A and B are shown apart, each in its own frame.
Chain A
Amino acid sequence: MSRLLLALCTGACILTTRPTLMTAQERSYDENALRVDEQHGTIRIVRGVSETVVAKIGVFRAVDVAALVKPSPNAVAEATIFERNYRPGTWMASLGIATLGAAIGASRISGLNQAVPTSLTIVSVSLITWGGFKLETAHRALSKAIWWYNRDLK
């Protein structure tokens, strides 16, 4: 009789263990999946259905995105590309805008050699374009990083 009870207990154990595992798997995406949300020039990375903000990436403020997506190797690789491009991109674009301002200012100074505002304009356009491409590369990598991270969730 005791053996019978033991066998029933074993069966009951199997009965309770499997559904518990499945619940954990089903909850994983809902609670952990990331997405990007941009507001007023700030990139926010939010987690799960509750939309908890886990990172804010400002114009000059970068965060350790690689650490955020660490469980997924592909996501980490993309996050590294993002980090390598984002800050130089924002700095170059900003410097370009400032140089453009200087070029406009220089063009209004009478008697100044015309080569000065012209060269400033060329430099500013180059910086803005280069910064823009860097930022595009960064955004592309961030999109991929999050895609990979979410993919590797159960």
Chain B
Amino acid sequence: MKSRVLRALLISALLSGVTAGAQTIGHAAPTVAAPGSGTTVASGRTAAASDSSHGYDAQALRFETHWGSADIIRGANGPVIGTVGWFRDFDMEKLVASSPQAVIEARAFKTNNFRGSLVGGLGALTLAVGTVVTANSSNNAASPILIIAGAGAMVWGAQHLNAGYSRLSRAFWWYNRDLTR
């Protein structure tokens, strides 16, 4: 009788081990709705989990904005691995390549950052020209147009730069999510 009980326990334990293992894999790559896209994406956790060097402490990214640019930092006090911002580019897609959803967001960041930098830069130039024309007291009808157009372009550019940072924040959120903890 005892041997039967033992055998039953052994079978149950074996079954639990097999099922738990299968469910670990199943939950390691859950499908979740991607924010803003309305689509579902598979996590890259399974792949990341197999590599111990991909730990959160060692690899997790964050950024610190200052004076119009952002430093990309690994860890809480880790090294600055790149700087992005006004006319400053960094290969974000390569950096977050291990997470497919992060790559999409990094691409969107790049587009927004380029547009924001270009239009914002042109706006600043137009505003400066308008200011110089006004300061020279020349009765040029174009000066108010230049100032308004320049300021408008700067605002539009700033909004795109902000939208870019929002996408960058999402990219890091996804990248860090797919790291082992």
Which residues of A pack against B, CB within 8 Å?
A: 3-4, 6-8, 10-12, 14-15, 18-19, 22-23, 26-27, 29-30, 33, 35-40, 49-51, 74, 132, 136, 139-140, 143-144, 146-148, 150-151, 153-154
**B73-90 interface bits toward A, Cβ cutoff 8 Å, 1 = contact, 0 = none:** 101110000000000000
Residues on B close to A: CB < 8 A? 1, 4-5, 8-9, 11-13, 15-16, 19-20, 23-24, 27-28, 30, 32-36, 56-57, 60, 62-67, 73, 75-77, 162, 165-166, 169-170, 172-173, 176-177, 181
Query: Does B166 contact A10, Cβ atoms closer than 8 Å?
Result: no
Residues in chain A near residue B67, CB distance under 8 A: 132, 136
If over half of A's interface residues share one DSSP class (helix, strand or loop), that class is named, otherwise mixed; here it is helix
Name B12's contact: one of A14, A132, A148, A153 (CB within 8 Å).
A14
Q: How far is the CB of A79 from chain B (nearest CB, A)?
A: 13
CA distance A154 to B65 in the complex (A): 27
What's the Cα separation between A4 and B62 when bound, in Å? 55
How many contacting A-B pairs (Cβ < 8 A)?
108
Tell whether, in the assembled complex, residue A35 and residue B23 are in contact, meaning their CB atoms are under 8 Å apart: no
A11 and B16 contacting across the interface, CB-CB below 8 Å: yes
